[in-house]
Amino acid sequence: MASNCSAQLGAARALVDLMRDHQQLGVLEWTLTPVGVLLGQQTAVEGRGEIIAECARVLGGTPVSVRADVDGSGFAELVTVWRGVNVKVWVTYSVPAPPRALGTVVPAGGGR
């Protein structure tokens, strides 16, 4: 148990440093696992998951998984080690729909 506490403390300190020095990453929801892994996530955002590229720039590493569906939505993930702490960041995103011409009929499901 002491090693878990030590790992969590290290991850907590790393998170404090990360938020202090890179406030732009505060848009992610950050959590610590019981074994000291730092997890960042963001769901259902518009765009193409650009925050993952910013995380890679700050934390190092290369996104390990990027998927885009036919509708432009997707998932991006980064797994890396920063200051001795295992970090996993993931985001789901959707590309904004193109604007509709005035008077366009919206599908019954309320789609965009």
Q: How far apart are CA 28 and CA 25, in angstroms?
A: 6
Buried b (16+ CB within 10 A) or exposed e, 87-99: bebbbbbbeeeee
Secondary structure class of 111 (helix, strand, coil):
coil
Q: In Å, how far are 17, 34, 46, 76, 108 from 96, measured between CA atoms?
A: 33, 36, 6, 17, 19
Domains in the chain: boundaries: 2-10+25-94
Q: What is the pLDDT of residue 45?
A: 72
Amino acid at 79: V
User: Could you report the per-residue pLDDT of 61-98, keeping only the tens digit for each?
Assistant: 998 767 777 777 788 999 999 999 999 999 988 766 56
Buried b (16+ CB within 10 A) or exposed e, 41-69: ebeeeeebbebbebbbeebebebeeeeee
Q: How far apart are CA 87 and CA 7, in angstroms?
A: 12
Model pTM greater than 0.85?
Answer: no
